[in-house]
Amino acid sequence: MSVIFSLSSGDPAADRRVDFALMLFAEGDYPGAAETLLAAMEMVPGWALGWFQLGEFYEAAGDTAAAIAAWRAALRLDPADHSGASLKLALAGAESDAAAMPGAFVEMLFDQYASKFDQALVNGLGYRAPVLLEAAIRSTGPERFPLALDLGCGTGLMGERLRSMCDRLEGVDISSEMLRKAREKGIYDRLEKADLQNLSHAGPLPDLVTAADVFMYVGALDGIFPTVSRLLAPDGLFAFSVERLDTQDGFALQPSRRYAHSETYLRRILSDSGLTPVSVRTERIRDDRKEPVQGLIVTASRG
């Protein structure tokens, strides 16, 4: 049995059943959609994304046990976890929360999202993190930075805000498509494809490191913060945003499949990493399903 990870099952007859299942789901017939998709999966049992979708259908139908079984099948077929099945299992209580999202999931998510990212985020969700971070940097840092490094740069929304305040601007992102869109804007002096979980940087140390809405895809920050601290030039500035977690210390995976972090956790990990908070402000960073998402806009210094 071959393993298939694609948006299509590769079998026209199975795809027709999938289309019918999607129609039933759109009409609110969740049990019927699940039953129809299960019949399709019997024709293409190696289709990992199909099993993930089946889990979604079972979840909507209220059959959590069947959803968990489907997500486990997806993860077994695709251990790299492009669909993020491990996150759904964690939210269902079937697995413990992972320290970070699977890199394959984040990469595929943003590769698919790149073409509509700017319009959807800024116009559709009222995305404000780059604007808020720019204001925080200007109020706490020097007027100009010799070198700025934009982590998780995406299409360059943060870079557009940084360009006027730095002599050289570099960006890092896991998504090739996001980097392609950023390159088209012509605002970065250098762009690199890399997973932040394995971040390294050669050359002069940056005086400013930014991460706009990046750590909601990371979770545990006790690996990346020390790396940032080592990367920063003496007296350098680290500016980032997170979704705010109010109910407990630490971080937690949300139903949105994004992580939120508490202020107490951030301050502790920053201190442990040799970084000193300069400003921590609660702000609305964007909307989600027409509800405001509260975040923390943070600047910290090294030294």
The last residue of one of the domains, among 96, 124, 157, is 96
Residue 165: inside a domain: yes
303/58: higher pLDDT:
58
Between CA 191 and CA 209 the distance in angstroms is 14
pLDDT at 124: 66
Q: Determine which of 147-161, 205-219, 287-301 has the lowest per-residue pLDDT on average.
A: 287-301
pLDDT at 7: 67
Residue 6: inside a domain: no
pLDDT band with cut points at 50, 70 and 90 for residue 6:
low
Closest CA to 40 of 81, 77, 70, 83: 70
The last residue of one of the domains, among 51, 69, 96, is 96
Q: Are residues 124 and 188 in the same domain?
A: yes
pLDDT at 71: 96
Phi/psi class of residue 101: alpha, beta or left (left: φ > 0; alpha: ψ in -120 to 50)? Answer: beta
5 has pLDDT over 60? no
Q: Are residues 163 and 272 in the same domain?
A: yes
Helix-helix angle 224-231:263-272, to 10 degrees: 50
**pLDDT, averaged across the chain:** 90
Residue 210: inside a domain: yes
Could you read off the pLDDT of 238-262 as tens digits, one per residue?
Answer: 999 999 998 778 999 998 889 999 9
Domain with residue 189: its CATH number is 3.40.50.150
**92-106, 197-211, 220-234, range with greatest mean pLDDT:** 220-234
pLDDT band with cut points at 50, 70 and 90 for residue 4:
very low
Domain with residue 83: its CATH number is 1.25.40.10
Between CA 44 and CA 77 the distance in angstroms is 12
Residue 123: inside a domain: yes
pLDDT band with cut points at 50, 70 and 90 for residue 302:
confident
Q: Are residues 125 and 248 in the same domain?
A: yes
3-state secondary structure of 94: coil
Give the mean pLDDT of 106-110. Answer: 85
DSSP for 153-202, written as a single string: -TTSHHHHHHGGGEEEEEEEES-HHHHHHHHHHT--SEEEE--GGG----
Residue 5: inside a domain: no
Residue 261: inside a domain: yes
Residue 3: inside a domain: no
2 has pLDDT over 70? no
Give the mean pLDDT of 53-64. Answer: 95
Look up residue 50 and give its amino acid.
Answer: G
**Enclosing domain of residue 27:** 12-96
Give the mean pLDDT of 269-295. Answer: 92
Could you read off the pLDDT of 11-56 as tens digits, one per residue?
Answer: 899 999 999 999 999 999 999 999 999 999 999 999 999 999 999 9
Give the mean pLDDT of 203-210. Answer: 94
Q: Are residues 142 and 289 in the same domain?
A: yes
Give the mean pLDDT of 87-103. Answer: 85
Q: Greatest CA separation found in the chain?
A: 63
Q: Are residues 20 and 145 in the same domain?
A: no
281 has pLDDT over 70? yes
Give the mean pLDDT of 72-88. Answer: 93
Residue 247: CB atoms within 10 Å: 7
Cβ pair 240, 256 in contact under 8 A: no
Residue 41: inside a domain: yes
Task: For the chain, give the percent of residues with pLDDT over 70.
Answer: 94
Could you read off the pLDDT of 114-170 as tens digits, one per residue?
Answer: 777 667 666 667 788 999 999 999 998 788 999 999 999 999 999 999 999 999 999
Q: Are residues 257 and 147 in the same domain?
A: yes
**What is the count of structural domains for the chain?**
2
Q: What is the DSSP letter of 47?
A: B
Q: Are residues 154 and 232 in the same domain?
A: yes
The last residue of one of the domains, among 96, 131, 147, is 96
pLDDT at 191: 95
Q: Are residues 251 and 153 in the same domain?
A: yes
